[in-house]
Every structure is written in structure tokens, then in C-alpha cells.
A and B are shown apart, each in its own frame.
Chain A
């Protein structure tokens, strides 16, 4: 059994090198194009040439003249640029975390919110919005910190609950503990929300998620966590391949399954919590992006993990562009766009790849 499983998994891995390189180049090009589109498109028209010259004017000794007026400059560098960067960070993080969870739990339906991150963050943010004093509510730190703390607390409880029923061997127990936690936090969150209906609008707009008020401050809050988490997960891509064979096989190949699994789960959770704390709850990215990579490139985590990081970043930047242009100058909640565009796109990928096989 072990040998057949190994042989099935080995096939994509051999071809992964050649295909992976080509796919890597394409994905990087996709991300760069998405970032460029994200910087160019908006209610205020600023040409790509002006953007490049404006960027170059910051490079010392080049003596490029700043071509933009004060308002355009503020729009580009204070509003649009942080928005694009934040969308890229969050999209990459959600996709890579989704891919890792799917590998660790050997379940294709796992998403980054699996262990209660979303419910915990939602509860934390709601409590902060409802109960914070006026001074604290004005601070840009309050809600992200509360969401982050809520997410981490929920996952710690989930993990403790899962372990107490023997999750070290049964990943199913951990998943069930996560579902329990998510349901519980959602109930408390809804209760608090109903008690403070005058804050309903604020809670609701946070839960829907989005980047409409992204600042460099938000980028600075989440970037360190996302960077560390992404690096850890990318370094574990081979381990994920081995883990996908099963516990016994992984152990026989010399891997400390418990420790590897914990490292991956901690990294994915920490990064997801940081992403959620600045962007709210954006669904679907963590499922659709890794599966698209699997269907189009390879099922090996050596390809899926790094490519999900890049493609997720590009995907969320583009969906954010759609979210802010469709009803311009009004905004559309980004979660609506990720699901509305993502679902049909995923259906097409699923159909074409099945047909090719």
C-alpha cells in the first residue's frame, strides 16, 4: 500500500521541476501584472508613466522630477499603494495557509479559517467595536489587535480541546474541535452584536472584509507575521508532500509528524490571524487558489505552496480592483467579488482539467 501510494505521488514530483519552473515564471508575471493594474486603476486617473516616474523620483541620484500634484501623489502613495500591497499580502497568506491546512489535515475542503480563526477574530473585533471607549475606538490599533488576540485565543482553545480528545493522531478530532469553536464564537459574536444594534453597521462592514481604508500602518501591523509564516510554510513544502502520504509513511521516512504538523499549523494560523486582523473575513481565497494550482500545475506541495503564495497575492489584488471599480466611486465588499468571480472560474478550471484527463 505504501509503495503504490509512493509511486502515485512520485509521478508528479518528477515532472514538477520542469513544469514548476515554467509555472513559476507565469505566476510571477501574473502577480507583477496584477500589482501594476492595481496601481493604475482607480477613480482618479494616473497614468503608468507618471507612476513609474513618481516612483523613480524617490531613488536618490537619479534626479527624476516628481510629476504628480499633491492630491494625485497622496492618492497614489497613501491610498492606492498600501491598498494593493495589503491585498497582495493577505491574498498570498490566505492561499498559502489554505494549501498548508489541506496538506496537514489531508482534507481538500480545509480553509485557513478551519481552526476557529475567523470566529475568534470576528468576536474580538466585535467586542472592540462595541465596548471600546471613544478614545480607543478612534485608534487604528484597537480593532486589529482585538481581532488578532481573538483569533489566537480561539485557535489555542481549539488545539487544547482537540488534544484532549486525542488529536495528535486523529486530525479529524482537531477539525471537529475547530468547527465547535467556530460555532461557539459565532453565537457569542451574534449575541453581542444583537445587544448593540447601533453598532451593527460597523460590525457588519468589518465582517464583510475589504481594503477600502488600507494604510501603510495596516501593512506594517501584518507584514512581519505574514513574512515569517510564509517563509516557514514554503520551507515545509517537502514535509507537506511526505505528510500527505499518511502518518506511518511519514514516520518511516524519518519525519517527526507531531512536531512538523504543529510547526505548519502554528505558522499558518499566525499568518492567517494577522491577515484577518487587518482585512476582515475574506472567504474562498484559501480554497480556490491552491486547488487551481493543483489542477493546472501539479499536486506536489513543492509547487502548490510557493505558487499559491504568488497566485493568491495576484488574485486578491485583482479582485480588489474589481471591488473598487464596478460601482465606482462606490465600493463593493471584496468577499462578494472573490466568491462571484472565483466560483465560476473554479468551475471552469475543474471542468477543463477533468476533460483533459
Chain B
């Protein structure tokens, strides 16, 4: 009798466990799919990533620099001089930042808000890693994987479209009209490296943490074959302005019209739109 009751109890317990497990499983899955419902992004790149992977509906506020996509809920929140109270006022359950001045992140954590730091990527793999990480956080693993797969596929096709004879062009990436540039240790530099281009700023490696200010005569002497202007919006630079600079008419890129006026925002972020940027660079490289 005693044995029987044990057996019955065990059977009951087993059945209960199976039932509760099968009942809990989809619930847990569901919870994981939308782990965070009130997300604040204080990084324009993270905003672009979130909307690309399909987590846009969970985003309640983005910072004042997050101008893409248009439907992102842009607020006056600042990612550079963030205010803890203003952020907390939106009642977020997850805050994503790329810059952490002072004790901003730890103060938010004191309020019981989850904060994840997504620093500026230095290469594509880091950028892919952030996108996949955001997918895990927001319950959009598949979306994130699809975005990364699409980026890889497109970038490979874009690079392959450039003939091998154009794979070793000298490139000058301009951040502002005083010749601040980016070396191949930076994210944008890694895109040029993908093509096999030689970044003229690499000669100044070590100065300026990947973003050195080049001297004007060095640029002329190095004679870049591609010039990418990432200062079209900030400083209104165009092909005509570049061609009119003293001595620049001797530069190969100017003579062959291989000057690309990029969207400053796209060129300074490490999100999915880098594919568009690469496509434009490829088009310029094939020119002339």
C-alpha cells in the first residue's frame, strides 16, 4: 500500500511536472521574445539597428541626434549631456547608450533600470556583434541574424563588383574642412580596407586616436585617387569646393571626378546603412 501510494504520488508529480513544463514553455518563450517593452536609445546607431531588426515598436524614446528612421520617436533627450531624471521620466526598462559621461549609467542602474553600453565599433565584426546582441536583448534574434546576413551578402557583392585593378586606390576620408581624417583602425577605415583601398591617413597612425588632422601638403603629395567628403552636411563641402581649394586641381580624385559627397550621418555611424555608403563608394571607384 505504502509502495503503491509512493508510485501514484511519483506518477502524479511527474504528470504535474510535464503539464506545468509544457504550459510554462511557451509562456517563457513569449516573455523572452519581448523582454524589454520600453526601450530608450541614446545612440543614433543603436536606433537604426533597433528599427532594422524589427524592435522599433518596443522603443519609447530616442535621443535628439537619432534622425533615422523618420518614424523613430525622437525626443529632446541628449546622448552627449544625458540627464538621468529626464530619461527616467519616460519609465524605460532598458536604456541603450554609446557614450557614458560621468556616472550616468550607474545612476540609472540605481533606479533599477537596465543599461547596456554599445560603444562605437571599430570594424564590421563589432558592429555585427552589437546588432546580434540587440536582437537577443529585444527578442528579435531572427531579425538581427537576417540583418547581419543581408549586410554580409550585400557588402561582399559590392566589393566583388569593383574590378581588381581598382582595388588598391588611395583614399582620403575627410571629416571636416581642416583635414581631420580617419585611419583604417576606425570603423569607416575598415570599410575601405574591405575594398583593399589604401587609406592615406594611415601614415599618421598613432596621432589623434585614429582620427588625425592631416597637413594639407601631405594630402597633395599623397595624391589620393578617391576623396570621400563626410563633411557635406556639417560644413557644406561639395566637389566644387574641393576642386577650388588651392592646389587641389592636381589631385587625381579631383581630375577623375572621384569625389564622393557622403551623408555625414551614415559615414559616422556603424549601422546597417553602411551598405548604402559602400555601394556609393564602389560606384565612385569604378568611375573614370
Task: List chain A positions with a Cβ less than 8 A from chain B.
Answer: 42-44, 70-71, 74-75, 78-80, 82, 132-138, 194, 197-202, 205, 210, 212-213, 215-216, 324, 327-331
Are A212 and B176 CB-contacts (below 8 A) given A70-B250, A138-B238?
no
Can you list 21 A-B pairs with a CB-CB distance of less than 8 A?
A: A42-B215, A71-B250, A74-B220, A74-B247, A75-B247, A79-B216, A79-B220, A79-B246, A135-B236, A138-B235, A198-B234, A199-B234, A201-B176, A201-B180, A205-B180, A213-B216, A327-B207, A329-B218, A330-B204, A330-B215, A331-B215
Q: Is B107 engaged at the interface, CB distance under 8 Å to the other chain?
A: no
Q: Is the CB of A136 within 8 A of B236?
A: yes
How near does chain A come to B178, taking the closest CB pair, in angstroms? Answer: 5
Which residue from A42, A134, A199, A212 sits with its C-beta under 8 Å from B213? Answer: A212
How near does chain B come to A316, taking the closest CB pair, in angstroms? Answer: 17
Q: Is the CB of B215 within 8 A of A328?
A: yes
Contacts of B126 in A (CB 8 A): none
Contacts of B51 in A (CB 8 A): none
Q: How far is the CA of A329 from the CA of B238 in the complex (A)?
A: 24
Which residue from B212, B221, B233 sits with its C-beta under 8 Å from A71? Answer: B221
Contacts of B179 in A (CB 8 A): 212-213, 331
Which residue from B80, B203, B218, B235 sits with its C-beta under 8 Å from A44? Answer: B218
Contacts of B214 in A (CB 8 A): 329-331
Q: Is B208 engaged at the interface, CB distance under 8 Å to the other chain?
A: yes
Q: Is the CB of A134 within 8 A of B233?
A: yes
Task: List chain B positions with a Cβ less than 8 A from chain A.
Answer: 65, 78, 80-81, 175-180, 203-204, 206-208, 212-218, 220-221, 223, 232-238, 241, 245-247, 250
How near does chain B come to A91, taking the closest CB pair, in angstroms? Answer: 19
Q: Is the CB of B234 within 8 A of A329?
A: no
Q: How far is the CA of A70 from the CA of B179 in the complex (A)?
A: 21
CB-nearest residue of chain A to B268: A198
Q: Is the CB of B246 within 8 A of A78?
A: yes
CB-nearest residue of chain B to A71: B250
CB-nearest residue of chain A to B181: A330
Are A79 and B213 CB-contacts (below 8 A) given A71-B220, A138-B241, A330-B204?
no
| With A79-B220, A138-B235, A201-B176 already in contact, 5 other A-B pairs whose C-beta atoms are closer than 8 Å | A43-B215, A43-B218, A44-B217, A71-B247, A327-B206
Q: How far is the CA of A257 from the CA of B29 in the complex (A)?
A: 87
Contacts of B223 in A (CB 8 A): 71
Which residue from A44, A82, A331 sits with its C-beta under 8 Å from B221? Answer: A44
Are A213 and B221 CB-contacts (below 8 A) given A70-B250, A135-B236, A205-B213?
no
Q: Is the CB of B217 within 8 A of A43?
A: yes
Q: Is the CB of B178 within 8 A of A43?
A: no
Contacts of B208 in A (CB 8 A): 330
